[in-house]
């Protein structure tokens, strides 16, 4: 490429939740800017929560995201329960994990097969892909439906479930209600293992980065709804110390705030981080699936995140079956409590990574301050860094090729921009 000035625009990056823009500037053969621009109209959730009863936080914050409402329900419950000194008994904790398994399955499968895989196979979408890969798409839809089946039964509906509250649930399912999910989940477990194999044979860019991974870690389980905050550079903190570790900054090109460590470091949240920091907590079949897909215990190639998501789908299916088989309804659907004044902290593992909530509540039970940090917001900086590292050695490649791989690189993160974003527009400026 010898031209000195060149501008390419892609009006909208597709197959992500919400919309934003990517800006690449190339000047005299040097990359001078790689910005993920987020223009989602602000919806001001942290402001509108002020004056609301703390018991309303789960239903309200679920509306931040239609693709991972369970994550919002779970993180807000965790934070308010922390504030009230509430701990839920094992049957309720197990049901919450089962609900989260449902969301991981449907969200990961949606991302893997409908949003991300078309990039690798060269289709604009899963529907076009279905013409030549019909069995694969139909299998994926059926696995996704098995996950949604859990959310619909336990939550009442797939999107914005209604059965979750502080302290537990409104109504506990009976063993007989859960049992019919079992056959389909068992089928999905086998199908997910098989579906991972052709994905392992995809042609992945040769690209690795030395990320600082951050995820939750729990004494005995692969992290979903609880745990301490740990990182690949050695932090091990209670969730209440989140704000000491990561702080948010407003950058002009994004309505979604950027997060950095006190030392200015950029961290990576999501499946790669969970997997790297909790490899020893994988279920047996998930570990075998990772091996069969050729994954080492730490994966630093973000393009392989599609495989790690697949491993987590296997894990979530295996966990769902275990939880259904072991389920014995408790005495009460929810632990009784009275709101009290104070500040509470909660974090859970949304499919895209750690989702942090903090609430301060007054004597009257009303929220006076709320802070919510979505994983995509934290990952923005690492996405920009990936793009810089990927684009710099590839500046000689044609724009179309560069653009395609940049879009794939963004989709590696399954960014959920609707948590804050609007219009993803790719501009390549060559000067």
Among 25, 33, 60, 235, binds another protein (CB under 8 A): 60
First to last CA, the chain: 12
Q: Least distance (Å) from another protein to the CB of residue 47?
A: 4
Q: Find the binding residues for another protein in span 314-333 (CB under 8 A).
A: 333
C-alpha 224/C-alpha 321 separation (Å) is 16
Question: Strand, coil or helix: what is 272?
Answer: helix
Q: Find the binding residues for another protein in span 89-108 (CB under 8 A).
A: 106
Does 416 carry a binding-site annotation?
Answer: yes
41 binds another protein (CB under 8 A): yes
Taking CB under 8 A as the binding criterion, the range among 24-32, 85-93, 249-257, 344-352 that sits at the site for another protein is 249-257
Query: Which DSSP string do the residues of 77-98 spell out, in sequence order?
Result: HHHHHHHHT----HHHHHHHHH
Does 77 carry a binding-site annotation?
Answer: no
Q: Find the binding residues for another protein in span 2-21 (CB under 8 A).
A: 11-19
69 binds another protein (CB under 8 A): yes
Report the candidate in 177, 20, 157, 109 with the shortest Cα–Cα distance to residue 316. Answer: 109
Q: Least distance (Å) from another protein to the CB of residue 5?
A: 26
C-alpha 113/C-alpha 202 separation (Å) is 13
Q: Are 143 and 186 in contact (CB under 8 A)?
A: no
260 binds another protein (CB under 8 A): no
User: Whose structure tokens read 């870690």?
Assistant: 217
Q: Find the binding residues for another protein in span 107-146 (CB under 8 A).
A: 110, 114-115, 118, 124-128, 130, 137-138, 141-142, 144-145
Q: Are 379 and 268 in contact (CB under 8 A)?
A: yes
Among 81, 82, 158, 414, binds another protein (CB under 8 A): 158
**Residue 331: burial class (beta carbons within 10 Å; 0-12, 13-18, 19+):** exposed
Does 372 carry a binding-site annotation?
Answer: yes
Does 108 carry a binding-site annotation?
Answer: no
Among 193, 312, 318, 407, binds another protein (CB under 8 A): 407
What are the E-state strand segments in 331-385? Answer: 342-350, 353-361, 367-373
Tell me whether residue 285 or residue 352 sits nearer to another protein (CB atom).
Answer: 352
Q: Are 213 and 277 in contact (CB under 8 A)?
A: yes
225 binds another protein (CB under 8 A): no
Report the candidate in 101, 15, 2 with the shortest Cα–Cα distance to residue 327. Answer: 101
Q: Which residues are annotated as a binding site for Mg(2+)?
A: 46, 372, 422
The residues of the shown chain that bind another protein, judged by CB under 8 A, are: 11-19, 40-48, 50-53, 56, 59-60, 63-67, 69, 106, 110, 114-115, 118, 124-128, 130, 137-138, 141-142, 144-145, 148, 156-160, 162-163, 165, 169-171, 249-250, 252, 255, 257, 333, 407, 418
């Amino acid at each position: 490429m010898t031209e000195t000035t060149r501008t390419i625009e892609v009006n909208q990056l597709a197959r992500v939740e919400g919309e934003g823009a990517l800006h690449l500037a190339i000047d005299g053969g040097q990359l001078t800017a790689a910005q993920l621009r987020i223009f989602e109209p602000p919806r001001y959730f942290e402001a509108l929560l002020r004056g609301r009863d703390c018991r309303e936080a789960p239903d309200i914050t679920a509306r931040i995201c239609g693709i991972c409402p369970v994550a919002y329900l779970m993180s807000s419950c965790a934070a308010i329960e922390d504030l009230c000194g509430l701990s839920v008994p094992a049957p309720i904790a197990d049901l919450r994990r089962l609900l989260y398994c449902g969301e991981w399955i449907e969200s990961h499968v949606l991302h893997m097969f409908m949003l991300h895989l078309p990039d690798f196979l060269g289709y604009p979408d899963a529907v076009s892909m279905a013409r030549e890969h019909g069995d694969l798409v139909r299998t994926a839809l059926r696995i996704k439906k098995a996950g949604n089946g859990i959310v619909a039964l336990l939550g009442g509906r797939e999107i914005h479930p209604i059965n979750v509250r502080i302290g537990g649930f409104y109504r506990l399912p009976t063993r007989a209600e859960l049992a019919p999910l079992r056959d389909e989940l068992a089928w999905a477990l086998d199908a997910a293992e098989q579906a991972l194999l052709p994905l392992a044979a995809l042609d992945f860019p040769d690209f690795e980065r030395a990320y600082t991974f951050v995820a939750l870690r729990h004494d005995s389980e692969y992290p979903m709804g609880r745990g301490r905050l740990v990182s690949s550079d050695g932090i091990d903190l209670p969730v209440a110390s989140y704000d000491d570790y990561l702080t948010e900054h407003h950058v002009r090109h994004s309505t979604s705030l950027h997060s950095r460590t006190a030392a200015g470091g950029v961290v990576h949240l999501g499946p790669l981080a969970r997997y790297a920091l909790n490899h020893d907590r994988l279920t047996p079949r998930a570990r075998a699936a990772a091996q069969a897909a050729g994954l080492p215990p730490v994966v630093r190639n973000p393009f392989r995140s599609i495989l790690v998501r697949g491993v987590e789908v296997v894990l979530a299916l295996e966990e769902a079956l275990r939880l259904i088989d072991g389920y014995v309804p408790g005495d009460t659907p929810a632990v009784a409590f009275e709101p009290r004044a104070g500040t509470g902290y909660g974090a859970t593992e949304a499919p895209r990574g750690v989702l942090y909530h903090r609430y301060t509540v007054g004597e009257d039970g009303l929220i006076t301050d709320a802070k919510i940090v979505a994983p995509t917001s934290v990952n923005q900086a690492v996405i920009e860094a990936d793009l810089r590292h990927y684009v710099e050695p590839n500046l000689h490649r044609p724009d179309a090729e560069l653009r395609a791989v940049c879009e794939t690189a963004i989709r590696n993160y399954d960014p959920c921009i609707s948590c804050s974003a609007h219009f993803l527009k790719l501009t390549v400026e060559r000067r």
